Amino acid sequence: MAAALAGLTLPAVVEELLSEMAAAVQENARIPDEHLSLLKFIFGPSAIQALDLVDRQSITLISSPSGRRVYQVLGSSGKTYTCLASCHYCSCPAFAFSVLRKSDSLLEPRAPSRSKTYSHNSLFQRRTALPT
Amino acid sequence: MAETLRRVLNLGTSARSGEEDTAEAGPPLLLLGGPGSGKTALLFAAALEAAGEGRGPVLFLTRRPLQSLPRGTGAALDPLRLQKVRLRTLWAGFPWKDCLRYLKIRFQYPPSTHELLQLLCSAHEARGPAPSLLLLDGLEEYLVEDQGPQDAAYLAALLLDTAAHFSHQTGPGQGCGLIVALQTQEEGVSGDALQVSLLQRYFPAQCWLQAETPGPGQHRLRACLDPGGLGPRAEWCVAFRPNGEMTITPWPTQAGNLSLDKGSSSGGQP
């Protein structure tokens, strides 16, 4: 995977990483520690929080007959939050604080790193797309 | 949607590209400018352009009904004719081809932020063909009621999600474009700059309308289009005659003229 990462942007790297992780889960194999380390390296502490939500099965994919989808996340406080499937948005306070408000997370639209916003959405989509 | 707007801006010039791809929607576009800068006129022109492409209808969202049709080349229409949209009276004074395109534009007037959010959240329940273009005029009027950046982000994200859903319905190779017009305040107002900066994260393509002061009785604007990395930046001169007719010409190119700065404290104005 390291060789494949050369010259790629962060979104492409994230997509490949998550695809490999999803493949491992689908084969009921253990996710390599290298992938988990890379996940934390890319997303920072929010990766651990996101994986914790996945482990607690706190994410629900809601879809309409027309095909429109949205993710509902059950937070540790018992409150549910909405995560849009098509773009980077989550109604949780962490998104508002760490992505929208904190100046060090206010990234340019086409910057190579969009770690905070990606971690909210990408992990959820990979996990809920897998058969249970 | 930058290419749709680029075609609109090139309509008044001889600079039309031979390769005009009308199939792909492109990234969502944010149209920014001060009061009276011609945002509504350009939005409506984009609506007519998209309506003439032979794909789906155009959905035009605005808080209040247009009091008069923005005029490109047609004659004036009084407000009553506009609101009634009767075929018999609509034809009078309006170019024939534009009348047919106008009928493909669906206007909806959500009166509040809550109504707009409801409309967007329930867009997948609407019957009929999916639109090929989603337009929102006057985003600032819906943001006034909001509590903070998360509400602005939610509205922007919901607009994108709605357009993405329409794109999914139209199928591959077509898609639904999204253009949103936002009135900006005077340069240096920090609250406006932060809001614009936040919205720019969701709208990679932007078009700025800046007023120029050519002389008494003239109303001229500089339109700077940045398609968000998918093409070259370009500028046009948009002028409005006393009768309201809009004319567009290429902006004279000079070295160092194109200077869009999205990261500036003024909210990214050129």
**Neighbour count for residue B16 (Cβ, 10 Å):** 11
Q: Tell me the one-letter amino acid at B27.
A: P
Note whether A86 contacts B202, CB cutoff 8 Å: no
Q: How confident is the model at residue B131 (pLDDT cuts 50, 70, 90)?
A: very high
From CA A85, how far away is CA A87, in angstroms rounded?
6
Model confidence pLDDT, tens digit, residues B95-122: 555 666 667 889 999 999 999 999 999 9
Give the closest-approach CA distance of A88 to chain B in angstroms.
7
Choose the closest CB to B124 out of A64, A85, A106: A64
User: Which of the pair, A116 or A8, is modelled with greater confidence?
Assistant: A8
pLDDT at residue B101 in the model: 65
Q: Which residue has the tokens 């749709």?
A: B4
Residue extents of the structural domains in chain B: 1-12+23-74+96-207
Model confidence pLDDT, tens digit, residues B165-176: 999 888 777 789
Closest CA to A121 of A97, A92, A101: A92
From CA B32, how far away is CA B185, in angstroms rounded?
10
Percent of all residues in chain B with a pLDDT value above 90, rounded to a whole number? 27
From CA B24, how far away is CA A34, in angstroms rounded?
39
From CA A20, how far away is CA A16, in angstroms rounded?
6
Note whether B157 contacts A87, CB cutoff 8 Å: yes
Cβ atoms of B46 and B2 within 8 Å: the answer is: no
pLDDT at residue B60 in the model: 94
Radius of gyration of chain A (CA): 15
**CATH 3.40.50.300 at B1-12+23-74+96-207, yes or no:** yes
Q: What is the mean pLDDT of chain B?
A: 75
Percent of all residues in chain A with a pLDDT value above 90, rounded to a whole number? 21
Which residue does chain A place closest to B166, by CA atoms?
Answer: A68
pLDDT at residue B95 in the model: 56
Q: How confident is the model at residue B218 (pLDDT cuts 50, 70, 90)?
A: low
Note whether A108 contacts B202, CB cutoff 8 Å: no
Which residue does chain A place closest to B230, by CA atoms?
Answer: A110
From CA B64, how far away is CA B36, in angstroms rounded?
15
Q: Is the confidence metric ipTM above 0.90 for this complex?
A: no
Give the closest-approach CA distance of A40 to chain B in angstroms.
24
pTM of the model: 0.77
Give the torsion through C-alpha atoms of A7, A8, A9, A13, to 10 deg: -140
Chain B residues with at least one Cβ partner in A under 8 Å:
124-125, 148-150, 153-154, 157-158, 160-161, 164-165, 168-169, 197-198, 200-204, 228-229, 262-263
Q: Which of A81, A86, A113 to mutate to test the interface with B (most CBs of B within 10 A)?
A: A86
Note whether A86 contacts B164, CB cutoff 8 Å: yes
Model confidence pLDDT, tens digit, residues B55-74: 789 999 999 887 766 655 33
pLDDT at residue A103 in the model: 45
H-helix segments, chain B? 2-11, 39-51, 79-84, 87-90, 96-102, 113-121, 139-143, 149-170, 190-202
Query: Crossing angle for the helix pair A115-128 and A10-26, nearest 10 degrees?
Result: 30
Pick from B4-18, B187-201, B202-216 the range whose average pLDDT is largest: B202-216
Residues 6+ apart with CB under 8 A from B36: B211, B219
Model confidence pLDDT, tens digit, residues A41-90: 888 887 888 888 888 999 999 999 999 999 999 988 899 999 998 888 99
Model confidence pLDDT, tens digit, residues B142-201: 987 656 788 889 999 999 999 999 998 887 777 899 999 999 876 555 556 778 888 888
Cβ atoms of B105 and B60 within 8 Å: the answer is: yes
pLDDT at residue A23 in the model: 86
From CA B155, how far away is CA B124, in angstroms rounded?
16
Cβ atoms of B203 and B28 within 8 Å: the answer is: yes
Q: Cα B163 to the chain's mean position, in Å?
A: 14
